[in-house]
Amino acid sequence: MTNNPTFEVIIVGGSYAGLSAALTLGRSLRNVLVIDSGKPCNEQTPHSHNFLTQDGKTPKEISTIAKAQVEKYESVTFLNGLAIKAEKTNVGYRVETSMGATYNAKKLILASGIKDILPQIKGFKECWGISVIHCPYCHGYEVRHKKTGILANGDAAMHYAKLINNLTDELVLFTNGESTLSEEQTQQIKSHNITIVETEIEEVVQRNGQIDHLLLKDQSKVSLSALYHGPRFLQHSDIPEQLGCEMTEQGLITVDGLQRTTVLNVYACGDNSSMRTVAVAVASGMRAGASVNFDLVSEAF
């Protein structure tokens, strides 16, 4: 591919949302470039669930099938690379990769995902996405009726306690330090026979990503099969900030019902702007692709 070519649409990110957007645009005969670094945040997750027709498959299986299907559309081009910069031009946007190549497009779709900031607890990273999980809809059924922990505090702890109490009768809440739950929240959680542990966690003792027990700072042990945690995160790409996209209080890109960001001709889909599930990523990608195509049609007609 020659340097600095022009496309109708550039998609930054080629996982579920980016592929879904590319499929929609390819079927609309749009000239599309998908730039993807090949480093999805769910790389360590062994199975994906709650996505019709693909329930239980590995994330890699799903994305491999998806990419093979999108590659059949001749107007879609894939580039293995990392987009590091985007800037507005007279006709749209210029995107630069880490290798120094630049590409132009009228429209830009950000499907760049997020980057998890995991707690600095020994053994935690090794279990992330395997037995330390974030979403009961994605993974809760597989650990139903098992002894389960929640690593959270305050309102987040209350939210998880409500959701997960439906899946197991053996639930322990770890605030990992002094509880910030209100007195009312504390009473409500305890009324459902959920134990609250404020002692800090020293280590997640595990084998091949499967939790055996938590070792607390007082050297006591709590056996668990699974631990829920919603980590802090950052946008995986600096491009939304470079372009001045508005962010929500949670750190997601603000989009409207058609996946348009607050910056003209820039759209966002997937984990960087919505609920973190494969099904939602695919749906938002399709919506972004359709929105971009409609805007291109409207401008030309």
SS (H, E, C) 223-268: ECCEEECCCEEEECCCHHHHHCCCECCCCCECCCCCCECCCCCEEE
Q: What pLDDT is stored for residue 169 in this prediction?
A: 94
Output b/e per residue, 144-156; b: 16+ Cβ within 10 A. Answer: eeebbbbbbbeee
Phi-psi region of 38 (alpha: psi -120 to 50; beta: other; left: phi over 0): left
Mean pLDDT split into 10-residue runs, the chain, 301 residues: 81 96 98 91 77 85 94 97 96 96 97 95 96 93 96 97 96 98 97 97 97 97 97 95 97 97 98 92 97 97 93
Helices 154-164 and 183-190 meet at what angle, rounded to 10?
Answer: 20
Q: What pLDDT is stored for residue 15 in this prediction?
A: 94
How far apart CA 264 and CA 280 sit, in angstroms, is: 23
Domains and CATH numbers, the chain: 6-116+232-300 (3.50.50.60), 119-228 (3.50.50.60)
Indicate the Cα dihedral angle 131, 38, 59, 77, nearest 10°: 160
Q: What pLDDT is stored for residue 173 in this prediction?
A: 98
Q: Is the distance from CB of 71 to CB of 19 less than 8 angstroms?
A: no
Predicted model pTM: 0.93
Name residues whose C-beta falls within 8 Å of residue 99's C-beta, 6 or more positions apart in sequence.
81
Q: What pLDDT is stored for residue 262 in this prediction?
A: 98
Q: How far is CA 15 from CA 77, 78, 100, 111, in A?
A: 14, 12, 22, 8
Q: What pLDDT is stored for residue 55 in this prediction?
A: 84
